[in-house]
Structure 1
């Protein structure tokens, strides 16, 4: 079980983030380990993805992708 905070999600979805590759590597290293997070983290991540995107459309697309991941994987809690 891995507790995931906002920094991980932002890095994972923002390929310009300095920790993007590290977030991808961490996810690949533990493919079957459940990820635990909170709705507060989801809310904060959505806000930052929109704020840091070069345009609103890209930010919203990243938010939708993140929410779909939460819906698709029941091991995310």
Structure 2
């Protein structure tokens, strides 16, 4: 986790403690941590999916004006 994410987790724990009006139990702390980490993982997966889509779009562009080139698809020295 980055430093900013760790600070956000501590903020969420503090908010939960204030909302309950008492110190949190281990179970409550773990529940808050688990939900935050699950949310982070979902966000990262979404960002990675977008990045893969953008990369795929950039690499999949074909030149429609070009014609088929036999020399580009055949070995220059012939089959071995």
User: How does the TM-score come out when normalised to structure 2?
Assistant: 0.32
Higher relative contact order (CA 8 A, sep 6+): 1
Task: Decide which structure has greater helix share.
Answer: 2
TM-score by length of 1: 0.33
Say which structure is richer in strand. Answer: 1
